[in-house]
Amino acid sequence: MEDIRICPEHGFYRGENCPECDYRGEVILNKDGVEKLGRFVSGILRHFPERFGIEMDEDGWVSFDALVRAVRRKYKWANQWLVKALVYSDPKQRYELKGDRIRAKYGHSVKVKLSDYPPAEEEVLYYGTGEEEAIRLLEIGIKPVNQTYVHLSTTIEKSEEVARLRTDEPMILEIDAKRAREEGIRIIKVNSFIALAEEIPPVYIKRVIKLPAQEK
């Protein structure tokens, strides 16, 4: 977790220096604040909007003002500007803020249709996991566990990052996304590196790539 700073020219960013011009901006939210605010905002937008009386539509949108009010009840120091800083500086592009509404782009455990996302156009997509799990998935297909959607990566590198969080010896499943879409599986693109599907049946898993263990 990194501090959020502001560059007068390029706006909010995370880390020491502005990635665009190397200017060292003022800290507007320190790591600790980023973590607290991030956990709370993603909790509401992905998992429990109703716990804070926030109404969510079927595509996951909620009122930005309502979210900020909930945030301020929890953290007196927070404000709408800091929530925007969190959203716009997010390196994982977790959120989408449009007009007076905001939503999480992925990671939901609440039922959302996300019907306003474009289909993913990639011919292949990737899913990173561990060895045992990979063998199981080859038989049963990829299904969401704690989430509403299966999260697929647009590149091998991204799927490797995901897998390495959980295992030292990642296996990457390569998905025939083109054929899956042609045969009626809905796959949507939420940002440059993540696509979502309700399920990927085993027949669309094209091959398994075993990656070398990483030295620690």
- Sheet architecture: strand order including 124-129: 187-189, 194-197, 150-153, 124-129, 171-176, 205-210
21 binds Zn ion (CB under 5 A): yes
Please identify, using beta-carbon distances, which residue of 10 and 74 lies nearer to Zn ion. Answer: 10
User: For residue 123, what are the contacts with CB-CB under 8 A and spacing of at least 6?
Assistant: 176, 177, 178
Is 10 near Zn ion (CB under 5 A)?
yes
Q: Does 16 bind Zn ion (CB under 5 A)?
A: no
CB of 91 to Zn ion, least distance (A): 16
**Which 3 state secondary structure label does DSSP give 17?**
coil
Tokens of residue 55, six digits: 């109404």
Kindly state whether residue 83 participates in binding Zn ion, applying the rule CB under 5 A.
no
**Residue 6 lies near Zn ion (rule: CB under 5 A):** no
Q: Which of 4, 6, 7, 41 touches Zn ion by CB under 5 A?
A: 7
Site membership for Zn ion, residue 4 (CB under 5 A): no
Compute the distance between CA of residue 110 and CA of residue 186 in angstroms, rounded to an integer. Answer: 18
**Contact region for Zn ion (CB under 5 A) — 8-16, 45-53, 108-116, 148-156?**
8-16
Of 2, 16, 20, 169, which one interacts with Zn ion (CB under 5 A)? 20
Token pair recorded at residue 216: 């620690």
Write down the least CB distance from residue 101 to Zn ion, Å: 28
Give the gyration radius of the chain's Cα atoms. 19
